[in-house]
Amino acid sequence: METMKLKFAGIRRKEIYSPNHITNDSIILQLTGEVLMDYGHDVELYDEDFIESNDIDETYIFTMAQGLQGLLRLKTLEEQGRFLINKPSGALNTYRIDMIRILTNAGIPFPKSIVVGNVKAAVKSFDEFNTNQLWIKRGDVHAEHREDVTLISSKGELCVMLEEFAKRNIKQIVLQEHLPGNTIKFYGVLGTEFFRWNQTDGDRVIQYDINEIRRLAFLAAKALGVDVFGGDVIVSPDGTITVIDINDWPSFAPVREEAAKNIGLIINKKALEYEKQQIKENQVRIYSN
């Protein structure tokens, strides 16, 4: 029976990065902490704002941080030898522009997407899509406001949204093709069997292979480097499955009790493995001196 006791820090996500999910995000982190305490560990929770400018003592960190400043701070802690899930590099990979590049390079089916930086480029790129409906999305974090992910159907609507982004100093913008079909939302944890899904929209009866959705979801999460993840796929009328988003540690609201057990399970497993490896490496250094 494993009796090793570790000290964990849990990092709450900034409220600005939890639009409409502030309470749910807080609950899943709290539940994960409780699971780790059931394993015998100590857990202290911190706000993302706090770790941006303050040190924490814990070696083991589980984090929902999503802001650039917080993630860069956590990346520094990782480079100093701290253990983190999700890794800050993985969370940064889910920023939209990087996610498009990484998933495309990994061969994951993904909608046609064009990154634009100004109005002229955006209007020109609009014509490159063979459809009147496009998504316009901010290029970094997933969303802070409702308008950060908007379906448009004309150049006029495009210009209105570009003005809205400019007011908030959003400089990198993604135009993405709109795919008809049914949206399947999913949740997963790498290193476990946990994978849950539900259809969130689409009124057509479309047959789909859930095993293929699971395969693509885990491949995408692995390519991005996120252990705790969620996301969405579109199943087209012909059954084609396309990944449209991967989220770094979502709220798991529909399945959070079960999710927390699996998240805590993999964090505990990997943290103990990390601790044993550190002990082994320290012993080698002592014997070699």
Q: Is 224 exposed, middle or buried (0-12, 13-18, 19+ CB in 10 A)?
A: buried
Domains and CATH numbers, the chain: 7-86+252-288 (3.40.50), 112-177 (3.30.1490.20), 182-248 (3.30.470.20)
Helix (DSSP H) and strand (DSSP E) numbers for the chain: 9, 12
CA distances 123 to 97, 138, 256, Å, are 19, 16, 42
Q: How far apart are CA 69 and CA 3, in angstroms?
A: 36
- List the chain pLDDT tens, one digit each, 289 residues: 456 899 999 999 998 887 667 789 999 999 999 999 999 999 999 999 999 999 999 999 999 999 999 999 999 999 999 999 999 999 999 999 999 999 999 999 999 999 987 778 888 888 888 777 899 998 877 666 777 889 999 989 988 998 888 888 888 889 999 998 999 999 999 999 999 999 887 666 788 899 999 999 999 999 999 999 999 999 998 999 999 999 999 999 999 999 999 999 999 999 999 999 988 887 777 777 6
Please say whether the dihedral angle defined by the alpha carbons of residues 74, 80, 86 and 89, taken in this order, is positive or negative. positive
* Tokens matching residue 286: 């002592």
Q: Which residues contact 76 (CB under 8 A, 6 or more apart)?
A: none
**CA atoms within 13 Å, Cβ hemisphere of 73:** 18
Please tell me what DSSP assigns to residue 128.
T
Q: Where are the alpha helices (DSSP H) in the chain?
A: 22-38, 48-53, 68-79, 88-93, 96-105, 119-126, 155-167, 210-224, 256-288
